[in-house]
Structure 1
Amino acid sequence: MIIGIPKETTDQELRVGITPSGVASLMQRGHRVLIEKSAGVGSGIPDTNYSDEGAEMVSNPNIIFSSSDLVVKVKEVQASEWSLLHPGLTTFSFLSLGSNPALAEALLKNKVTTVAYETIEMDDGSLPILKTMSALTGRLAVDVASHYLKSSQGGSGKLLSGIEGVLPAKVLILGAGVAGFNAAELALNMGAQVTVLSRGRQRLMELRDRLQNNKRLKTDIASHDSISGAV
Protein backbone atom coordinates (compact mmCIF):
# COMPACT_ATOMS: atom_id res chain seq x y z
CA MET A 1 0.00 0.00 0.00
CA ILE A 2 1.12 3.56 -0.68
CA ILE A 3 0.53 5.76 2.36
CA GLY A 4 0.77 9.53 2.04
CA ILE A 5 1.11 12.19 4.72
CA PRO A 6 0.56 15.77 3.52
CA LYS A 7 1.52 18.87 5.46
CA GLU A 8 -1.40 20.24 7.46
CA THR A 9 -2.93 23.36 5.91
CA THR A 10 -5.21 24.45 8.76
CA ASP A 11 -4.11 27.76 10.30
CA GLN A 12 -1.79 27.23 13.30
CA GLU A 13 -2.02 23.44 12.99
CA LEU A 14 1.53 22.25 13.68
CA ARG A 15 0.86 18.55 14.20
CA VAL A 16 1.75 15.87 11.67
CA GLY A 17 -0.01 12.62 10.81
CA ILE A 18 2.91 10.25 11.51
CA THR A 19 6.16 10.00 13.46
CA PRO A 20 9.46 8.61 12.17
CA SER A 21 8.90 5.47 14.24
CA GLY A 22 5.53 5.08 12.54
CA VAL A 23 7.26 5.27 9.17
CA ALA A 24 9.72 2.58 10.26
CA SER A 25 6.86 0.32 11.35
CA LEU A 26 5.07 0.73 8.02
CA MET A 27 8.25 0.16 6.01
CA GLN A 28 8.88 -3.08 7.91
CA ARG A 29 5.45 -4.26 6.75
CA GLY A 30 6.29 -3.58 3.13
CA HIS A 31 4.38 -0.34 2.61
CA ARG A 32 5.60 2.68 0.69
CA VAL A 33 5.41 6.01 2.55
CA LEU A 34 5.22 9.44 0.92
CA ILE A 35 5.56 12.55 3.11
CA GLU A 36 5.27 16.15 2.03
CA LYS A 37 8.42 18.13 2.73
CA SER A 38 8.36 20.12 6.01
CA ALA A 39 5.25 18.25 7.18
CA GLY A 40 6.83 17.52 10.56
CA VAL A 41 8.76 20.76 11.11
CA GLY A 42 6.02 22.27 13.28
CA SER A 43 6.27 19.24 15.58
CA GLY A 44 10.05 19.45 15.74
CA ILE A 45 10.62 16.62 13.25
CA PRO A 46 12.99 17.45 10.35
CA ASP A 47 12.62 15.78 6.96
CA THR A 48 15.80 13.77 7.47
CA ASN A 49 14.22 11.91 10.39
CA TYR A 50 11.61 10.57 7.99
CA SER A 51 13.90 9.90 5.04
CA ASP A 52 16.31 8.04 7.33
CA GLU A 53 13.48 5.58 8.02
CA GLY A 54 12.79 5.09 4.31
CA ALA A 55 10.06 7.65 3.61
CA GLU A 56 10.04 9.43 0.26
CA MET A 57 9.90 13.22 0.68
CA VAL A 58 7.59 14.91 -1.82
CA SER A 59 7.36 18.64 -2.52
CA ASN A 60 3.86 18.72 -4.00
CA PRO A 61 0.74 17.71 -2.02
CA ASN A 62 -1.00 16.88 -5.30
CA ILE A 63 1.38 13.95 -5.68
CA ILE A 64 0.57 12.77 -2.15
CA PHE A 65 -3.16 12.58 -2.89
CA SER A 66 -2.95 11.27 -6.45
CA SER A 67 -0.38 8.55 -5.71
CA SER A 68 -1.59 7.27 -2.34
CA ASP A 69 -4.05 4.55 -1.43
CA LEU A 70 -4.32 5.96 2.09
CA VAL A 71 -3.83 9.60 3.14
CA VAL A 72 -3.16 10.17 6.84
CA LYS A 73 -3.83 13.61 8.30
CA VAL A 74 -4.51 15.20 11.67
CA LYS A 75 -7.30 17.59 10.70
CA GLU A 76 -10.03 16.78 8.22
CA VAL A 77 -9.45 17.26 4.51
CA GLN A 78 -9.72 21.01 3.96
CA ALA A 79 -11.84 22.67 1.26
CA SER A 80 -8.65 23.61 -0.58
CA GLU A 81 -7.85 19.88 -0.81
CA TRP A 82 -11.23 18.62 -2.00
CA SER A 83 -10.18 18.88 -5.64
CA LEU A 84 -7.44 16.33 -4.87
CA LEU A 85 -9.89 13.65 -3.73
CA HIS A 86 -10.54 10.73 -6.07
CA PRO A 87 -12.46 7.43 -6.10
CA GLY A 88 -10.69 4.60 -4.28
CA LEU A 89 -8.83 6.90 -1.89
CA THR A 90 -9.04 6.28 1.86
CA THR A 91 -8.41 9.06 4.38
CA PHE A 92 -7.59 8.70 8.07
CA SER A 93 -8.02 11.82 10.24
CA PHE A 94 -10.28 13.65 12.66
CA LEU A 95 -13.53 14.48 10.84
CA SER A 96 -16.29 16.07 12.97
CA LEU A 97 -18.72 15.63 10.08
CA GLY A 98 -21.65 16.74 12.20
CA SER A 99 -20.46 20.33 11.98
CA ASN A 100 -19.22 20.10 8.39
CA PRO A 101 -21.89 18.68 6.06
CA ALA A 102 -20.10 20.15 3.03
CA LEU A 103 -17.12 17.89 3.74
CA ALA A 104 -19.41 14.86 3.98
CA GLU A 105 -20.85 15.75 0.57
CA ALA A 106 -17.36 16.15 -0.94
CA LEU A 107 -16.27 12.75 0.39
CA LEU A 108 -19.41 11.07 -0.95
CA LYS A 109 -19.19 12.83 -4.31
CA ASN A 110 -15.61 11.65 -4.81
CA LYS A 111 -16.36 8.13 -3.48
CA VAL A 112 -13.72 8.40 -0.75
CA THR A 113 -13.58 5.91 2.11
CA THR A 114 -12.78 7.71 5.34
CA VAL A 115 -11.99 6.67 8.90
CA ALA A 116 -12.48 9.22 11.70
CA TYR A 117 -10.03 9.14 14.59
CA GLU A 118 -12.78 10.12 17.02
CA THR A 119 -14.86 7.02 16.18
CA ILE A 120 -12.16 4.36 16.67
CA GLU A 121 -13.42 2.19 19.49
CA MET A 122 -11.77 -0.55 21.55
CA ASP A 123 -13.53 -3.75 22.61
CA ASP A 124 -14.32 -2.19 26.00
CA GLY A 125 -16.05 0.77 24.34
CA SER A 126 -13.26 3.26 25.01
CA LEU A 127 -12.12 5.74 22.36
CA PRO A 128 -8.30 5.75 22.60
CA ILE A 129 -7.47 8.58 20.20
CA LEU A 130 -10.29 10.83 21.36
CA LYS A 131 -9.35 10.09 24.98
CA THR A 132 -5.82 11.36 24.44
CA MET A 133 -6.99 14.58 22.80
CA SER A 134 -9.62 15.11 25.50
CA ALA A 135 -6.95 14.77 28.18
CA LEU A 136 -4.83 17.39 26.44
CA THR A 137 -7.84 19.67 26.03
CA GLY A 138 -8.75 19.44 29.71
CA ARG A 139 -5.26 20.36 30.86
CA LEU A 140 -4.88 23.15 28.31
CA ALA A 141 -8.20 24.62 29.46
CA VAL A 142 -6.76 25.17 32.94
CA ASP A 143 -3.57 26.64 31.52
CA VAL A 144 -5.54 29.07 29.34
CA ALA A 145 -7.87 29.95 32.24
CA SER A 146 -4.86 30.76 34.42
CA HIS A 147 -3.59 33.12 31.72
CA TYR A 148 -6.90 34.97 31.38
CA LEU A 149 -7.25 35.39 35.14
CA LYS A 150 -4.38 37.88 34.95
CA SER A 151 -5.48 41.49 35.42
CA SER A 152 -3.55 42.39 32.27
CA GLN A 153 -5.95 40.11 30.37
CA GLY A 154 -9.05 41.57 31.94
CA GLY A 155 -9.28 38.92 34.65
CA SER A 156 -9.67 39.19 38.40
CA GLY A 157 -5.93 39.07 39.01
CA LYS A 158 -6.19 35.92 41.10
CA LEU A 159 -3.67 33.09 41.09
CA LEU A 160 -5.16 29.63 40.74
CA SER A 161 -2.90 28.47 43.53
CA GLY A 162 -3.36 31.47 45.78
CA ILE A 163 -0.51 32.61 48.00
CA GLU A 164 0.12 32.97 51.71
CA GLY A 165 -2.68 35.11 53.09
CA VAL A 166 -4.73 34.96 49.86
CA LEU A 167 -7.27 32.25 49.04
CA PRO A 168 -6.82 30.27 45.81
CA ALA A 169 -9.13 30.83 42.86
CA LYS A 170 -12.37 28.89 42.54
CA VAL A 171 -12.61 26.80 39.38
CA LEU A 172 -15.88 25.36 38.06
CA ILE A 173 -15.64 22.48 35.56
CA LEU A 174 -18.69 21.45 33.54
CA GLY A 175 -18.48 17.73 32.82
CA ALA A 176 -16.75 14.80 34.52
CA GLY A 177 -15.44 12.91 31.50
CA VAL A 178 -11.82 12.59 30.38
CA ALA A 179 -11.44 16.32 29.71
CA GLY A 180 -13.18 17.22 32.95
CA PHE A 181 -11.09 14.81 35.01
CA ASN A 182 -7.82 16.11 33.60
CA ALA A 183 -8.88 19.73 34.09
CA ALA A 184 -9.88 18.99 37.69
CA GLU A 185 -6.70 17.08 38.44
CA LEU A 186 -4.43 19.84 37.12
CA ALA A 187 -6.38 22.65 38.78
CA LEU A 188 -6.28 20.81 42.10
CA ASN A 189 -2.57 20.13 41.77
CA MET A 190 -2.05 23.85 41.15
CA GLY A 191 -3.84 24.57 44.43
CA ALA A 192 -7.20 25.84 43.18
CA GLN A 193 -10.59 25.21 44.80
CA VAL A 194 -12.40 23.02 42.28
CA THR A 195 -16.08 22.29 41.71
CA VAL A 196 -17.18 19.71 39.12
CA LEU A 197 -20.71 19.52 37.75
CA SER A 198 -22.03 16.56 35.75
CA ARG A 199 -25.41 15.12 34.82
CA GLY A 200 -24.01 11.66 35.58
CA ARG A 201 -23.85 11.02 39.31
CA GLN A 202 -21.80 7.85 38.76
CA ARG A 203 -19.11 9.83 36.91
CA LEU A 204 -18.95 12.31 39.76
CA MET A 205 -18.50 9.52 42.28
CA GLU A 206 -15.76 7.94 40.17
CA LEU A 207 -13.99 11.29 39.89
CA ARG A 208 -14.30 11.88 43.62
CA ASP A 209 -12.82 8.43 44.29
CA ARG A 210 -9.86 9.10 41.97
CA LEU A 211 -9.21 12.48 43.54
CA GLN A 212 -10.38 11.61 47.04
CA ASN A 213 -7.20 12.79 48.76
CA ASN A 214 -7.81 16.39 47.72
CA LYS A 215 -10.12 18.31 50.04
CA ARG A 216 -10.44 21.20 47.59
CA LEU A 217 -12.65 19.16 45.23
CA LYS A 218 -16.37 19.92 45.41
CA THR A 219 -19.34 18.76 43.34
CA ASP A 220 -21.75 21.63 43.97
CA ILE A 221 -21.99 25.09 42.41
CA ALA A 222 -21.01 28.39 44.01
CA SER A 223 -19.29 31.56 42.85
CA HIS A 224 -16.22 30.78 40.76
CA ASP A 225 -13.37 32.66 39.16
CA SER A 226 -12.88 30.24 36.26
CA ILE A 227 -15.32 27.96 34.43
CA SER A 228 -14.07 25.21 32.08
CA GLY A 229 -16.56 23.47 29.80
CA ALA A 230 -15.68 19.77 29.39
CA VAL A 231 -19.01 18.25 28.35
Structure 2
Amino acid sequence: MKIGVPIEVKNNESRVSITPAGVFELTKRKHHVYVQTQAGLASGFEDLDYIEAGAEILSSLDAVYEKAEMIVKVKEPIEKEYALVREGQIIFTYFHFASSQALTLAMIASKAVCIAYETVEDEDGSLPLLTPMSEVAGRMATQQGAKYLEKPIRGKGILLGGVPGVPPGKVLVLGAGVVGIQAAKMAAGLGAHVTIFDINMKRLRYVNDIMPSHVVTAFSNEYNIRKHIKTADLIIGAVLIPGAKAPKLITRDMLKDMTPGTVMVDVAVDQGGCFETTRPTTHEDPTYIIDDVVHYCVTNMPGAVPYTSTLALTNVTFPYVLDIAQKGWKEACNSDPSLQKGLSLDHGKVICKEILKEMVV
Protein backbone atom coordinates (compact mmCIF):
# COMPACT_ATOMS: atom_id res chain seq x y z
CA MET A 1 0.00 0.00 0.00
CA LYS A 2 1.04 3.61 -0.59
CA ILE A 3 0.97 5.50 2.69
CA GLY A 4 1.26 9.27 3.06
CA VAL A 5 2.51 11.22 6.07
CA PRO A 6 1.79 14.94 5.61
CA ILE A 7 2.87 17.83 7.79
CA GLU A 8 0.14 18.73 10.25
CA VAL A 9 -1.16 22.11 9.12
CA LYS A 10 -3.39 22.88 12.09
CA ASN A 11 -2.20 25.89 14.10
CA ASN A 12 0.83 24.98 16.24
CA GLU A 13 0.38 21.24 15.73
CA SER A 14 3.86 19.77 15.91
CA ARG A 15 3.21 16.04 16.17
CA VAL A 16 3.80 13.58 13.34
CA SER A 17 1.70 10.50 12.62
CA ILE A 18 4.44 7.92 11.88
CA THR A 19 7.98 7.77 13.24
CA PRO A 20 11.01 6.47 11.31
CA ALA A 21 10.63 3.19 13.24
CA GLY A 22 7.12 2.84 11.79
CA VAL A 23 8.39 3.60 8.29
CA PHE A 24 11.03 0.90 8.68
CA GLU A 25 8.40 -1.71 9.63
CA LEU A 26 6.18 -0.74 6.69
CA THR A 27 8.88 -0.59 4.03
CA LYS A 28 10.42 -3.91 5.01
CA ARG A 29 7.00 -5.38 4.20
CA LYS A 30 7.18 -3.76 0.74
CA HIS A 31 4.78 -0.88 1.43
CA HIS A 32 5.65 2.58 0.07
CA VAL A 33 5.75 5.49 2.52
CA TYR A 34 5.72 9.11 1.36
CA VAL A 35 6.67 11.68 4.00
CA GLN A 36 6.33 15.41 3.44
CA THR A 37 9.63 17.15 4.02
CA GLN A 38 10.16 18.26 7.62
CA ALA A 39 6.98 16.49 8.78
CA GLY A 40 8.81 15.00 11.76
CA LEU A 41 11.17 17.86 12.52
CA ALA A 42 9.27 19.33 15.47
CA SER A 43 9.03 15.87 17.03
CA GLY A 44 12.77 15.34 16.75
CA PHE A 45 12.96 13.38 13.47
CA GLU A 46 14.97 14.64 10.48
CA ASP A 47 14.17 13.88 6.85
CA LEU A 48 17.35 11.80 6.77
CA ASP A 49 15.95 9.57 9.54
CA TYR A 50 12.94 8.81 7.34
CA ILE A 51 15.05 8.30 4.23
CA GLU A 52 17.29 5.82 6.05
CA ALA A 53 14.15 3.97 7.23
CA GLY A 54 13.01 3.63 3.60
CA ALA A 55 10.63 6.55 3.05
CA GLU A 56 10.48 8.82 0.03
CA ILE A 57 10.47 12.51 0.93
CA LEU A 58 8.04 14.72 -0.98
CA SER A 59 8.17 18.49 -1.10
CA SER A 60 4.51 19.40 -0.79
CA LEU A 61 1.23 18.57 0.91
CA ASP A 62 -0.44 18.16 -2.48
CA ALA A 63 2.12 15.58 -3.59
CA VAL A 64 1.60 13.43 -0.49
CA TYR A 65 -2.18 13.38 -0.93
CA GLU A 66 -1.82 12.70 -4.65
CA LYS A 67 0.40 9.64 -4.25
CA ALA A 68 -1.04 8.01 -1.14
CA GLU A 69 -3.80 5.41 -0.91
CA MET A 70 -3.90 5.94 2.85
CA ILE A 71 -3.19 9.22 4.62
CA VAL A 72 -2.15 8.85 8.25
CA LYS A 73 -2.47 12.05 10.26
CA VAL A 74 -2.70 13.28 13.82
CA LYS A 75 -5.42 15.94 13.60
CA GLU A 76 -8.44 16.26 11.36
CA PRO A 77 -8.01 17.71 7.85
CA ILE A 78 -8.58 21.46 7.78
CA GLU A 79 -10.20 23.46 4.99
CA LYS A 80 -7.11 23.72 2.80
CA GLU A 81 -6.90 19.91 2.76
CA TYR A 82 -10.54 19.17 1.91
CA ALA A 83 -10.06 19.36 -1.85
CA LEU A 84 -6.97 17.12 -1.69
CA VAL A 85 -8.86 14.13 -0.30
CA ARG A 86 -9.86 11.68 -3.03
CA GLU A 87 -12.69 9.21 -3.43
CA GLY A 88 -11.79 5.89 -1.82
CA GLN A 89 -8.71 7.31 -0.10
CA ILE A 90 -8.30 6.11 3.49
CA ILE A 91 -7.88 8.89 6.06
CA PHE A 92 -6.79 7.58 9.46
CA THR A 93 -6.61 10.29 12.14
CA TYR A 94 -8.44 12.05 14.95
CA PHE A 95 -11.59 13.53 13.40
CA HIS A 96 -13.97 14.61 16.19
CA PHE A 97 -16.75 14.88 13.60
CA ALA A 98 -19.44 15.73 16.14
CA SER A 99 -17.94 19.15 16.75
CA SER A 100 -17.61 20.20 13.08
CA GLN A 101 -20.39 19.99 10.53
CA ALA A 102 -18.16 21.58 7.88
CA LEU A 103 -15.58 18.81 8.24
CA THR A 104 -18.27 16.13 8.18
CA LEU A 105 -19.87 17.48 5.03
CA ALA A 106 -16.49 17.90 3.32
CA MET A 107 -15.47 14.31 4.04
CA ILE A 108 -18.88 13.01 2.92
CA ALA A 109 -18.49 14.93 -0.33
CA SER A 110 -14.97 13.55 -0.85
CA LYS A 111 -16.29 9.95 -0.63
CA ALA A 112 -13.19 8.99 1.33
CA VAL A 113 -12.96 6.20 3.89
CA CYS A 114 -12.59 7.96 7.24
CA ILE A 115 -11.42 5.97 10.26
CA ALA A 116 -11.33 7.98 13.48
CA TYR A 117 -8.78 7.29 16.19
CA GLU A 118 -11.10 8.55 18.91
CA THR A 119 -13.85 5.97 18.34
CA VAL A 120 -11.69 2.85 18.02
CA GLU A 121 -12.97 0.94 21.05
CA ASP A 122 -11.89 -2.25 22.79
CA GLU A 123 -14.27 -4.86 24.23
CA ASP A 124 -13.99 -3.38 27.71
CA GLY A 125 -15.16 0.02 26.44
CA SER A 126 -11.72 1.63 26.59
CA LEU A 127 -10.49 3.85 23.76
CA PRO A 128 -6.93 2.69 23.02
CA LEU A 129 -6.03 5.41 20.51
CA LEU A 130 -7.47 8.22 22.61
CA THR A 131 -6.02 7.11 25.94
CA PRO A 132 -2.37 8.23 25.53
CA MET A 133 -3.36 11.69 24.32
CA SER A 134 -5.93 11.91 27.11
CA GLU A 135 -3.13 11.13 29.55
CA VAL A 136 -1.00 13.91 28.09
CA ALA A 137 -3.91 16.39 27.93
CA GLY A 138 -5.01 15.61 31.48
CA ARG A 139 -1.55 16.26 32.88
CA MET A 140 -1.17 19.38 30.77
CA ALA A 141 -4.55 20.71 31.91
CA THR A 142 -3.27 21.05 35.46
CA GLN A 143 0.10 22.35 34.27
CA GLN A 144 -1.50 25.03 32.10
CA GLY A 145 -4.16 25.84 34.67
CA ALA A 146 -1.50 26.44 37.31
CA LYS A 147 0.30 28.81 34.94
CA TYR A 148 -2.79 30.82 34.04
CA LEU A 149 -3.65 31.31 37.71
CA GLU A 150 -0.72 33.73 37.78
CA LYS A 151 -1.70 37.38 38.17
CA PRO A 152 0.10 38.75 35.06
CA ILE A 153 -2.25 36.57 33.00
CA ARG A 154 -5.25 37.89 34.98
CA GLY A 155 -5.57 34.78 37.12
CA LYS A 156 -6.16 34.93 40.87
CA GLY A 157 -2.48 35.10 41.71
CA ILE A 158 -2.57 31.75 43.49
CA LEU A 159 0.22 29.19 43.72
CA LEU A 160 -1.70 25.98 43.25
CA GLY A 161 0.27 24.00 45.81
CA GLY A 162 0.42 26.77 48.40
CA VAL A 163 3.35 27.10 50.86
CA PRO A 164 3.67 26.52 54.62
CA GLY A 165 1.24 28.82 56.37
CA VAL A 166 -0.77 29.47 53.19
CA PRO A 167 -3.52 27.07 52.01
CA PRO A 168 -3.23 25.40 48.60
CA GLY A 169 -5.49 26.14 45.67
CA LYS A 170 -8.73 24.30 45.04
CA VAL A 171 -9.12 22.28 41.86
CA LEU A 172 -12.44 21.01 40.55
CA VAL A 173 -12.24 18.21 37.96
CA LEU A 174 -15.38 17.34 36.00
CA GLY A 175 -15.10 13.72 34.90
CA ALA A 176 -13.21 10.76 36.36
CA GLY A 177 -12.09 9.21 33.10
CA VAL A 178 -8.52 9.10 31.83
CA VAL A 179 -8.22 12.89 31.47
CA GLY A 180 -9.78 13.61 34.83
CA ILE A 181 -7.69 11.13 36.77
CA GLN A 182 -4.46 12.35 35.17
CA ALA A 183 -5.40 15.98 35.87
CA ALA A 184 -6.25 15.11 39.48
CA LYS A 185 -3.00 13.18 39.87
CA MET A 186 -0.95 16.18 38.72
CA ALA A 187 -2.90 18.61 40.90
CA ALA A 188 -2.55 16.32 43.90
CA GLY A 189 1.17 16.04 43.25
CA LEU A 190 1.44 19.82 43.45
CA GLY A 191 -0.34 19.72 46.79
CA ALA A 192 -3.66 21.25 45.68
CA HIS A 193 -6.98 20.29 47.22
CA VAL A 194 -8.84 18.37 44.50
CA THR A 195 -12.50 17.47 44.09
CA ILE A 196 -13.31 15.15 41.21
CA PHE A 197 -16.88 14.76 39.91
CA ASP A 198 -18.51 11.94 37.97
CA ILE A 199 -21.88 10.21 37.59
CA ASN A 200 -20.30 6.75 37.63
CA MET A 201 -19.96 5.51 41.20
CA LYS A 202 -17.53 2.77 40.16
CA ARG A 203 -15.17 5.43 38.85
CA LEU A 204 -15.52 7.49 42.03
CA ARG A 205 -14.76 4.44 44.16
CA TYR A 206 -11.71 3.77 42.00
CA VAL A 207 -10.53 7.36 42.52
CA ASN A 208 -10.96 7.00 46.27
CA ASP A 209 -8.87 3.83 46.21
CA ILE A 210 -5.92 5.20 44.25
CA MET A 211 -5.71 8.88 45.21
CA PRO A 212 -4.29 10.49 48.36
CA SER A 213 -6.61 11.86 51.03
CA HIS A 214 -6.56 15.44 49.72
CA VAL A 215 -8.37 14.23 46.56
CA VAL A 216 -12.06 13.84 47.32
CA THR A 217 -14.95 12.68 45.15
CA ALA A 218 -18.45 14.04 44.58
CA PHE A 219 -21.43 12.90 42.56
CA SER A 220 -21.91 15.10 39.52
CA ASN A 221 -25.14 17.05 39.32
CA GLU A 222 -25.95 20.69 38.71
CA TYR A 223 -26.58 21.48 42.38
CA ASN A 224 -23.20 20.14 43.49
CA ILE A 225 -21.37 21.82 40.61
CA ARG A 226 -22.95 25.20 41.38
CA LYS A 227 -21.91 24.82 45.01
CA HIS A 228 -18.28 23.95 44.32
CA ILE A 229 -17.52 26.48 41.59
CA LYS A 230 -17.95 29.33 44.10
CA THR A 231 -14.68 28.43 45.83
CA ALA A 232 -12.75 26.67 43.03
CA ASP A 233 -9.58 28.26 41.71
CA LEU A 234 -9.08 25.93 38.75
CA ILE A 235 -11.87 24.03 36.97
CA ILE A 236 -10.93 21.29 34.51
CA GLY A 237 -13.53 19.95 32.07
CA ALA A 238 -12.74 16.30 31.37
CA VAL A 239 -16.03 14.84 30.16
CA LEU A 240 -16.16 12.45 27.21
CA ILE A 241 -19.03 10.74 25.42
CA PRO A 242 -17.27 8.76 22.63
CA GLY A 243 -18.03 10.24 19.23
CA ALA A 244 -20.65 12.65 20.55
CA LYS A 245 -20.75 16.25 21.75
CA ALA A 246 -19.84 16.83 25.38
CA PRO A 247 -22.64 17.94 27.72
CA LYS A 248 -22.57 21.57 28.90
CA LEU A 249 -21.92 21.17 32.61
CA ILE A 250 -21.04 24.80 33.28
CA THR A 251 -23.43 27.34 31.80
CA ARG A 252 -22.85 31.02 31.09
CA ASP A 253 -24.85 32.15 34.12
CA MET A 254 -22.61 30.13 36.44
CA LEU A 255 -19.64 32.37 35.69
CA LYS A 256 -21.10 35.11 37.88
CA ASP A 257 -20.80 32.79 40.89
CA MET A 258 -17.06 32.32 40.38
CA THR A 259 -14.48 34.63 41.91
CA PRO A 260 -12.56 36.84 39.45
CA GLY A 261 -9.44 35.16 38.11
CA THR A 262 -10.82 31.64 38.26
CA VAL A 263 -9.30 29.52 35.48
CA MET A 264 -11.32 27.04 33.40
CA VAL A 265 -9.52 24.49 31.20
CA ASP A 266 -11.80 22.63 28.79
CA VAL A 267 -10.11 19.44 27.61
CA ALA A 268 -13.41 18.43 25.97
CA VAL A 269 -13.16 21.29 23.46
CA ASP A 270 -12.53 18.84 20.58
CA GLN A 271 -16.00 17.43 21.21
CA GLY A 272 -17.67 20.82 21.49
CA GLY A 273 -16.62 21.53 25.06
CA CYS A 274 -18.33 20.96 28.40
CA PHE A 275 -18.57 24.69 29.23
CA GLU A 276 -21.24 26.77 27.49
CA THR A 277 -18.70 29.58 27.03
CA THR A 278 -16.09 27.36 25.40
CA ARG A 279 -14.73 28.34 22.00
CA PRO A 280 -11.70 26.72 20.38
CA THR A 281 -8.34 28.43 20.88
CA THR A 282 -4.76 27.75 19.77
CA HIS A 283 -1.36 27.56 21.41
CA GLU A 284 -0.63 30.87 19.71
CA ASP A 285 -3.58 32.57 21.42
CA PRO A 286 -4.68 30.11 24.12
CA THR A 287 -6.94 32.07 26.45
CA TYR A 288 -9.79 34.55 26.58
CA ILE A 289 -11.73 36.07 29.46
CA ILE A 290 -15.48 36.18 30.02
CA ASP A 291 -16.91 37.73 33.19
CA ASP A 292 -13.39 37.85 34.70
CA VAL A 293 -13.02 34.06 34.27
CA VAL A 294 -9.98 32.88 32.30
CA HIS A 295 -10.82 30.25 29.67
CA TYR A 296 -8.13 27.94 28.23
CA CYS A 297 -9.63 25.91 25.36
CA VAL A 298 -6.76 24.79 23.11
CA THR A 299 -7.95 22.06 20.76
CA ASN A 300 -4.63 20.25 20.44
CA MET A 301 -3.03 20.50 23.85
CA PRO A 302 -0.65 17.53 23.34
CA GLY A 303 0.76 19.30 20.28
CA ALA A 304 2.73 21.55 22.63
CA VAL A 305 4.85 18.59 23.75
CA PRO A 306 5.32 16.84 20.39
CA TYR A 307 8.22 14.57 21.28
CA THR A 308 6.34 12.95 24.16
CA SER A 309 3.00 13.02 22.35
CA THR A 310 4.24 11.61 19.04
CA LEU A 311 5.89 8.62 20.69
CA ALA A 312 2.90 8.00 22.97
CA LEU A 313 0.46 8.22 20.06
CA THR A 314 2.36 6.16 17.50
CA ASN A 315 2.95 3.40 20.06
CA VAL A 316 -0.78 2.67 19.89
CA THR A 317 -1.76 3.74 16.36
CA PHE A 318 0.97 1.96 14.43
CA PRO A 319 -0.34 -1.62 14.86
CA TYR A 320 -3.61 -0.47 13.25
CA VAL A 321 -1.75 1.34 10.46
CA LEU A 322 0.18 -1.84 9.73
CA ASP A 323 -2.96 -3.97 9.84
CA ILE A 324 -4.77 -1.71 7.35
CA ALA A 325 -1.72 -1.65 5.07
CA GLN A 326 -1.39 -5.44 5.14
CA LYS A 327 -5.06 -6.37 4.76
CA GLY A 328 -6.77 -3.34 3.25
CA TRP A 329 -9.29 -1.35 5.26
CA LYS A 330 -12.29 -3.63 4.68
CA GLU A 331 -10.63 -6.83 5.85
CA ALA A 332 -8.84 -5.02 8.69
CA CYS A 333 -12.16 -3.64 9.99
CA ASN A 334 -14.02 -6.91 9.48
CA SER A 335 -11.38 -8.88 11.37
CA ASP A 336 -11.02 -6.39 14.23
CA PRO A 337 -14.20 -5.19 16.01
CA SER A 338 -12.21 -2.45 17.74
CA LEU A 339 -11.10 -0.92 14.44
CA GLN A 340 -14.58 -1.40 12.97
CA LYS A 341 -15.92 1.02 15.59
CA GLY A 342 -13.51 3.64 14.29
CA LEU A 343 -15.03 3.53 10.80
CA SER A 344 -16.97 6.80 10.54
CA LEU A 345 -17.54 7.37 6.82
CA ASP A 346 -17.44 4.95 3.89
CA HIS A 347 -17.52 6.53 0.41
CA GLY A 348 -19.94 9.24 1.52
CA LYS A 349 -22.05 7.04 3.77
CA VAL A 350 -22.18 7.93 7.47
CA ILE A 351 -21.41 4.82 9.52
CA CYS A 352 -20.94 6.28 13.00
CA LYS A 353 -24.36 6.67 14.66
CA GLU A 354 -23.10 9.44 16.95
CA ILE A 355 -22.46 11.64 13.91
CA LEU A 356 -26.01 11.07 12.74
CA LYS A 357 -27.32 12.09 16.16
CA GLU A 358 -25.24 15.24 16.47
CA MET A 359 -25.02 16.57 12.94
CA VAL A 360 -27.52 17.52 10.27
CA VAL A 361 -26.00 15.83 7.22
Alignment RMSD, CA only?
A: 1.3
Q: What letter corresponds to residue 162 of structure 1 in structure 2?
A: G
Q: How does 1:75-224 map to 2 (within 5 A)?
A: 75-211=75-211, 214-220=212-218, 222=228, 223-224=231-232
Q: Alpha-carbon deviation of 1:125?
A: 2.3
Q: What letter corresponds to residue 152 of structure 1 in structure 2?
A: P
Q: How does 1:19-98 map to 2 (within 5 A)?
A: 19-98=19-98
After TM superposition, the score normalised by the length of structure 1 is 0.95
**How far apart in 2 are the matches of 1:165 and 1:92?**
52
Deviations 1:9-66 (A, max 9, x none): 1111111111111111111221110000011112121111111101000002212111
**How far apart in 1 are the matches of 2:74 and 2:53?**
21
Q: What letter corresponds to residue 69 of structure 1 in structure 2?
A: E
Task: Identify the range of structure 1 (67-76 vs 123-132) with the bigger mean alpha-carbon deviation.
Answer: 123-132
Between 1 and 2, higher relative CO (CA 8 Å, sep ≥ 6) is seen in 2
Q: Percent identity over the alignment?
A: 40
Asked if the contact 2:207/2:217 (under 8 Å) is kept, the reply is: no
Q: Alpha-carbon deviation of 1:105?
A: 2.1
**How far apart in 2 are the matches of 1:195 and 1:121?**
28
Task: Choose the corresponding residue for 2:234, options 216, 226, 229.
Answer: 226
Q: Alpha-carbon deviation of 1:150?
A: 1.2
Unaligned runs of 5+ in 1: none
Task: Identify the range of structure 1 (79-88 vs 5-14) with the bigger mean alpha-carbon deviation.
Answer: 79-88
Count residues with an aligned counterpart.
229
After TM superposition, the score normalised by the length of structure 2 is 0.61
**How far apart in 2 are the matches of 1:225 and 1:114?**
40
**How far apart in 2 are the matches of 1:152 and 1:63?**
45
Secondary structure at the counterpart of residue 128 of structure 1: coil
**How far apart in 2 are the matches of 1:134 and 1:33?**
28
Q: Alpha-carbon deviation of 1:195?
A: 0.7
**How far apart in 1 are the matches of 2:59 and 2:31?**
20
**How far apart in 2 are the matches of 1:112 and 1:31?**
21
